[in-house]
A and B are shown apart, each in its own frame.
Chain A
Amino acid sequence: GEDVEQSLFLSVREGDSSVINCTYTDSSSTYLYWYKQEPGAGLQLLTYIFSNMDMKQDQRLTVLLNKKDKHLSLRIADTQTGDSAIYFCAVSSKAAGNKLTFGGGTRVLVKP
């Protein structure tokens, strides 16, 4: 089945850019998502990219997709303390019946 991997932790200074990386295994992936989870809350959909796109920008967020390498990244520009959270990558693939497979999450800590 699909396997989605993320690094565990990222520390970044306020005002800098953050880049969170994700790798996946299933080449039949269609939609790829980034979710944010703040303490004590559920997962909130931040953005998504369709597999026929290489890049998607939404305000401070930029998603890059490298299908050849099966690599997805989320760049947060001008990172703020409110961006401290756990970020989950999720992939929808035909092999998994279009159900989402989530990565283990990357904990982002923004230091002032």
Chain B
Amino acid sequence: ETGVTQTPRHLVMGMTNKKSLKCEQHLGHNAMYWYKQSAKKPLELMFVYNFKEQTENNSVPSRFSPECPNSSHLFLHLHTLQPEDSALYLCASSQDFAATGDGYTFGSGTRLTVV
């Protein structure tokens, strides 16, 4: 499978649950990103990884915990979320941090609903 794949596509979880979002890319990219998209803030950059190392954490609450075991996989572990965390979570990847005409490649997202 090519491109960026995110699973699950939809997730409903209670505030006391623990769940994980998965992102996988088969593009040979070295940089991966988590974004949150909601009606209040269209695209919020959450975390950035480059060659498996976290290079950016944009003041994200600790109830969101990213993991990048290798350059192809990125996880977002969720625990004790709040209803305001309901949003579309998008994963993206890029070759590295050098700007090119390819930009970022996005997955289709996971629609998260916290009840």
Instruction: Provide the bound-state CA to CA distance between A102 and B98, in Å.
Output: 17
Q: Which of B100, B101, B103, B107 contacts A90 (CB 8 A)?
A: B103
**Chain B count of residues within 8 A CB distance of the other chain:** 23
Structural contact, B97 and A31, CB atoms closer than 8 A: no
Instruction: Provide the bound-state CA to CA distance between A65 and B101, in Å.
Output: 15
Chain A 44-62 interface residues, beta-carbon cutoff 8 Å to B: 44-45, 48, 50
Instruction: Provide the bound-state CA to CA distance between A45 and B4, in Å.
Output: 13
Residues of chain B lying within 8 A (CB to CB) of residue A40: 108-109, 111
Structural contact, A44 and B106, CB atoms closer than 8 A: yes
Give A83 Cβ to nearest chain B Cβ, in Å: 19
Most buried by A among B45, B104, B109: B104
**Chain A count of residues within 8 A CB distance of the other chain:** 23
By secondary structure, the A interface counts as: strand
Instruction: Provide the bound-state CA to CA distance between A44 and B108, in Å.
Output: 9
Most buried by A among B43, B56, B106: B43
Structural contact, A31 and B101, CB atoms closer than 8 A: yes
Give A27 Cβ to nearest chain B Cβ, in Å: 15
Q: Per-residue 0/1 for B82-115: is the Cβ within 8 Å of any A Cβ (1 yes, 0 no)? A: 0000000010100001111111111111010000
Q: Per-residue 0/1 for A28-46: is the Cβ within 8 Å of any B Cβ (1 yes, 0 no)? A: 0011010100001111110
